[in-house]
Amino acid sequence: MNSPQRAEWWKGMEKEKKTMLDKDVLELVPESEVPEGAKALQTMWRFHAKTDDFGNVIRYRTRLCGRGDKEKPGVDFNVMDTFSPVARMASFRIFVAMCKILHLLAYKADIDTAYLNARKRALTFVRSIAGFPLKRGWVYKMNNALYGLHESGQEWYDELHGWRSCEGLQRSSTEPCLYYLFDGDTTALVLVYVDDIICATNKESWKTQFFADLQNKYGIKDLGRLSNYLGVQVDWQHDGVLLHQAKYAKEVLERFGFANAIGSRSPMDTTVKLRAASE
């Protein structure tokens, strides 16, 4: 690894492997326990530098992913078990509007290594992980879902939906990732996009308990008041809510070398003199 941030990436890889073992995602077993014909999964590492609202790197995230590109439909996975819904952007805008109308405070949390909490349906084994060789005669048995595999999204959605139902939340009949609670004088909304959870309520005590339950079940990062969602920045104002992508626009300008470009009201050169076309 030649990256200038290799120390951070190695630290993340070691943490990810420890998480895999602690959460029982991977279990060391003798190779003799692998049944004939059992799937042997290939893996790879993915690296991502996570930034804050201003583009500053706040975390180096490392994930061990399954090689879903090597899976064969009908052999390694059932094509009917690959769909998992995520919240639509239109639902997010409605969520924000309802927060303002109902005077709800919105909060955000990120579930730690979300997919790793869902049980794996098919019997699967991993023979090696890059950077962490195994002793001869040993393999990993995969007990939980892994990022990158075709069925993992649905396995995680089913897991989280079951937990939310136990929490007393009702699922919207038109948006499968929107949940609500109207209990006496308590109102709560929950919107989910894979491992990003935003909730809004008129009772901070409900939010505190909800996040505590999530922490006990899966482990989360409490990100405080909702200020961004999937690249959209949220500015709560006295007379409304402003949704914008100033950070993303700045990143695009920097990517294409226009960070210091001077703005113009016209896309055309204003000094050009046009003449009427002759027949």
DSSP 86-128: ---HHHHHHHHHHHHHHT-EEEEEEETTGGGGSEEEEEEEE--
Mean pLDDT over each residue of the chain, to the nearest integer: 90
Note the pLDDT tens digit of each residue in 85-134: 999 999 999 999 999 999 999 999 999 889 999 999 888 898 888 888 88
3-state secondary structure 171-193: ECCCCCCEEEEEECCEEEEEEEE
Does the residue 274 lie in any domain? no
Count of structural domains, the chain: 1
- Residues for the chain: how many in total? 279
Note the pLDDT tens digit of each residue in 224-274: 999 999 999 999 999 899 999 998 999 899 999 988 888 888 888 888 888
Q: Smallest Cα–Cα separation from 145: which of 75, 66, 85?
A: 66
- What separation in angstroms does the CA of 57 have from each of 8, 48, 254? 12, 10, 16
Does the residue 270 lie in any domain? no
The reported pLDDT for the residue numbered 203 is 96
Residue 272 to residue 44: CA distance in whole angstroms: 54
pLDDT > 80? residue 55 = no
Does the residue 189 lie in any domain? yes
The reported pLDDT for the residue numbered 87 is 96
Nearest 5°: phi and psi at 127?
A: -90, -30
Does the residue 279 lie in any domain? no
Does the residue 262 lie in any domain? no
Does the residue 147 lie in any domain? yes
pLDDT > 70? residue 53 = no
Residues 104 and 98: beta-carbon distance below 8 Å: yes
Does the residue 227 lie in any domain? yes
The reported pLDDT for the residue numbered 206 is 96
The reported pLDDT for the residue numbered 96 is 97
> What is the dihedral angle through the alpha carbons of 221, 88, 176, 234, rounded to the nearest 10 degrees?
40
Distance of CA 240 to the CA centre of its chain: 27
Does the residue 211 lie in any domain? yes
For residue 219, the enclosing domain spans: 6-255
Percent of the chain with pLDDT over 90: 57
Q: Which amino acid is residue 9, in one-letter code? A: W
Q: Record the pTM.
A: 0.81
